[in-house]
Chain A
Amino acid sequence: GQQLNQSPQSMFIQEGEDVSMNCTSSSIFNTWLWYKQDPGEGPVLLIALYKAGELTSNGRLTAQFGITRKDSFLNISASIPSDVGIYFCAGRAGNTPLVFGKGTRLSVIA
């Protein structure tokens, strides 16, 4: 089945630093989503991308739908302690179910 490679698996950063993470797929996707999961909670949708090349922001978060349609990037600017959590990418090709990455665990050191 389809698989997503999400990297890095984990990150330790200083408060105030910018963060970048990405997701790649072996297939062409027509949708990319980014979720954040806090400890003890379910994933919460951050950003949805529907067109190749699309760049969308949500506060300090910016995500891009790669031109090749096989990748997506999430950037967080000026990280703060509450950014801690696991960030998941998810994508879909055609009408198939959403496929999720394994997540990037972000730790912020104050």
Chain B
Amino acid sequence: ETGVTQTPRHLVMGMTNKKSLKCEQHLGHNAMYWYKQSAKKPLELMFVYSLEERVENNSVPSRFSPECPNSSHLFLHLHTLQPEDSALYLCASSQDHTGLEQFFGPGTRLTVL
């Protein structure tokens, strides 16, 4: 138990669906992250939020839309995804956005049909 929870753990969606991934951290951290983990690839940083403001956006397609309503919650809204978007989506948090010791949630395994 790392103090970072993610729901749902598994999600199957069609290309025309809209769904959201949720992340919550109970560590009192100020920074939260979304990563994409695909087979045989390094973790890909998607978004970074610090004190609810986005500080990093690594050229992620607009079909992924993050939302950070407060420092404990982070969402990833999904719309018209492609099959190649199927992956494990990991949320992480750290003390601040320069903090290195990131604590990860268990991830959401996403399958796009």
A residues sitting closer than 8 Å to B (CB atoms) are 3-4, 31, 33, 35, 40-45, 48, 88, 90, 92, 95, 97-103
Contact = CB atoms under 8 A, between A and B. Distances in A.
Given A42-B4, A99-B42, A102-B42, A33 B48 contact: no
A29 B56 CA distance: 20
Given A95-B98, A97-B48, A97-B56, A45 B41 contact: no
Given A97-B48, A97-B56, A43 B42 contact: no
Interface of B: 2, 4, 6, 40-43, 45, 48, 56, 90-92, 98, 100-107
A42 B45 contact: no
B32 to A, nearest CB: 13
Q: Across chains A and B, which 9 residue pairs bring their CB atoms closest together, nearest first?
A: A42-B104, A100-B43, A100-B42, A43-B104, A42-B106, A41-B106, A42-B107, A31-B100, A102-B42
A40 B104 CA distance: 12
B100 A33 contact: yes
17 contacts: A3-B42, A4-B42, A31-B100, A33-B101, A42-B4, A42-B106, A43-B104, A45-B101, A45-B103, A88-B43, A90-B43, A92-B100, A97-B45, A97-B48, A98-B100, A98-B102, A102-B40
